[in-house]
Amino acid sequence: MGMLTYAACQWGMVAAMARLGSPHLVGQFALGLAVSGPIMLLANLELRFIATTDARREFRVRDYVGLRIVTTLVAVAAIFALAAVMSDGQGTAQAIVGLGLFKAVESQSDLLYGLFQQRSRNDYMGRSLMLRGPLSLAALAGGVALTGRLTWGIGAMTVGGLGVLLLHDYPQAVGLLRSRKEEALRPGWDARPLWRLAVLAAPLGAVTMLFSLNTNLPSLLLQKNSGVAAVGIFATLVSLMTAGHVLMNVLGHSLSADLAARFAAGDARGFRSTVHRLALAAGFVGGAGFLIGTAWGAPILRLLFGAEYAREAPTLRWIMLAGASAYLASALSYALIASRQLRVQPLILLSGIAVTFGLGWILIPRLGLAGGALAMLGSALVQLVANAAVVGQVFRRLSAAKRPGVAA
């Protein structure tokens, strides 16, 4: 419920800006995320998932906290430098910096979520998300409505996120560790474990960064060919697809620790059954989204965003089909993470990026927004096939390890 609430509020941000502002304003917000998002995701190194699936407790809490602080500071510096280079005098640089700071605050809560999940206290994370989502939506919409400027809305949103971190997430984490007589929640600066953790997590951090870059690449190509307003319309259409991603994240996050435990125990049947359930859920969500987008895309867009967006209903169909493929690929990626198949994932994402760039470079100048949607679809299909092939190898290895005379 927490993740669904937060996702609904994130979609509400796009809807609020579309109603309160213009496609140009939405485009600035989307470009800010397109630039700051991949940098922060790389810096996060997906330590939340590493902590959640650390079934053998290879690293201490202080190692996770110390590494997250270091990488966040480096990422913020990189975002400031990139924003200075991309300054256009129209507020885009300020949006990049503001969203970078917002993501930096979120990254601290994100790590604590990993500690909550690893200790089977998803309720702490759920309450935090239920607080963070509505606060962020109200702050952004209120800031834009009162001032007409995106930067004030982003600033208010960042302050709200900081409040949730300091008044809810941190106290809950401290109390949880204290109740279980574990170490105190403080950063560690021992270089050896920090380096080991960084090396382990680096492939997964690269995967999330590449995934974000791949998602935002059509927007960057659209901005080059059609301007910021086209990016705003495209981002609004894509926001409807993100609902399915959230549902898959809900299931994936909830099952990550169980998947990791089954893999560590060599439970081939249980691991395979859980992955199959995830894939079945992804297929159902993706199919429903595509049917809804095809049958009622135009009236939904007109109701939510306005007539200017409803004219792009044919593009929404391709976006929802791309989403269906991406949901299946995402479901399989949780199996890869739980089985520690981390190094192959950057290669898969690089292949997807190459397809997105190639198709986008060819199709966007000719087809506009539809070209961006087709580029997303091609990339999602490549990732789905590759993820399925690797997961199939994991299934075979687990099954073989259970046969007599085969070493685990």
The per-residue pLDDT for range 207-237, each reduced to its tens digit, is 788 878 888 888 888 877 877 788 888 888 8
Q: How many residues does the chain have?
A: 408
Q: Which amino acid is at 226?
A: S
Q: What percent of the chain has pLDDT over 90?
A: 26
pLDDT of residue 406: 44
Answer whether 68's CB lies under 8 Å from 111's CB: yes
Q: Could you give the count of Cα atoms lying within 13 Å of 245 in the half-sphere of its Cβ?
A: 20
- pLDDT tens track for 11-46: 888 888 877 877 878 888 888 888 888 889 889 888
C-alpha gyration radius of the chain: 21
pLDDT, tens digit (0-9, with 9 covering 90-100), for 232-286: 888 888 888 877 777 787 788 777 777 888 888 888 888 888 888 889 989 999 9
> Model confidence at 60, in pLDDT bands (50, 70, 90)?
confident
Question: Residue 218's closest CA among 328, 91, 377, 350?
Answer: 377
- Alpha-carbon distances, residue 42 vs 51, 72, 76, 78, 87 (angstroms): 16, 10, 12, 11, 23
**Token pair 């941000």 in the structure block, residue:** 13
Task: Decide if 6 contacts 192 (C-beta within 8 A).
Answer: no
Q: Tell me, yes or no, if the pTM score tops 0.85.
A: no
Q: What is the DSSP string of 7-31?
A: HHHHHHHHHHHHHHS-HHHHHHHHH
Give the pLDDT band (50/70/90) at residue 405: very low
Mean pLDDT for all residues in the chain:
85
Question: For residue 324, is pLDDT > 90?
Answer: yes
